Amino acid sequence: MQSTLDEHIGIDDEISEDLLPIKNEKRHVGPFAYMAMWLGDGFNIGNITVGSSLVVAGVATMNLLQTLVAIGVAIIFIALIFTFNDRFGYKTGAPYVMQLRLSFGAKGAKAASLLRGIPAVVWFGFQSWTGALALAQISKITLGISNVPVCFAILLVLQILLARRGFKSIKWFTSIISTIVMIALFSVFILLLTQHMGMITSKLVVTKGSWGLTFFSFIVAFLGNYTAIFESAADYSRELKPGMSNKYRGFLYLCPILFAYGITVLTGAMLAAVTGISSPVNAMAVLFHNNVITLLVSFFIVLSVMTTNMVANILPPTYVITNLFKTSQTVAMAIVGVLAACSFPWVLVKDSSSAGLNTFIHLYSLFLGPMTAIILIEYYVERRQHVNLKALYNVKNQKAIHWNAPLALMIGAGIAMTQVDLSWFLGFFAGGIAYFILNRVHHEDRSMSPIKEVVS
pLDDT averaged over 10-residue windows placed end to end, the chain, 456 residues: 44 71 90 88 80 73 89 93 96 94 92 92 89 90 91 93 74 72 83 88 84 88 85 93 94 93 90 82 77 80 84 88 87 93 77 61 88 96 90 80 94 94 92 96 64 42
Residue 55 sits at φ, ψ, to 5 deg, of -105, 120
What DSSP string describes 119-131? Answer: HHHHHHHHHHHHH
What DSSP string describes 12-77? Answer: -TT--GGGSPPPGGG--B-HHHHHHHHHHHHSSHHHHHHHHTTEETTEESS-HHHHHHHHHHHHHH
User: CB–CB of 127/264 below 8 Å?
Assistant: no
Q: Is 43 left (phi over 0), alpha (psi -120 to 50) or beta?
A: beta
Domain-embedded: residue 8: no
Cα separation, 333 vs 125, whole angstroms: 13
Cα separation, 345 vs 190, whole angstroms: 30
User: CB–CB of 408/435 below 8 Å?
Assistant: yes
Confidence (pLDDT) at 408? 97
Domain-embedded: residue 5: no
Q: Say which residues have a Cβ less than 8 Å from residue 391's Cβ, sequence separation at least 6.
A: 397, 398, 448, 449, 450, 452, 453
- Of 234, 228, 249, nearest to 387 (Cα)? 234
Q: Say which residues have a Cβ less than 8 Å from residue 199's Cβ, sequence separation at least 6.
A: 273, 274
Confidence (pLDDT) at 5? 44
In total, how many domains does the chain have? 1
Confidence (pLDDT) at 289? 74
CATH number at residue 153: 1.10.4160.10
Q: How many Cα atoms within 13 Å fall on the side-chain side of residue 177?
A: 26
Domain-embedded: residue 454: no
Domain-embedded: residue 153: yes
Domain-embedded: residue 448: no
Domain-embedded: residue 447: no
DSSP label at 240?
A: B
Q: Say which residues have a Cβ less than 8 Å from residue 213's Cβ, sequence separation at least 6.
A: 421, 422
**CB neighbour burial string for 312-323, b if at least 16 within 10 angstroms, e if fewer:** bbbbbbbbbbbb
Domain-embedded: residue 450: no
Domain-embedded: residue 14: no
Angle at 340 between CA 271 and CA 135, to 5 degrees: 45
Confidence (pLDDT) at 435? 97
What range does the domain containing 259 cover?
26-441
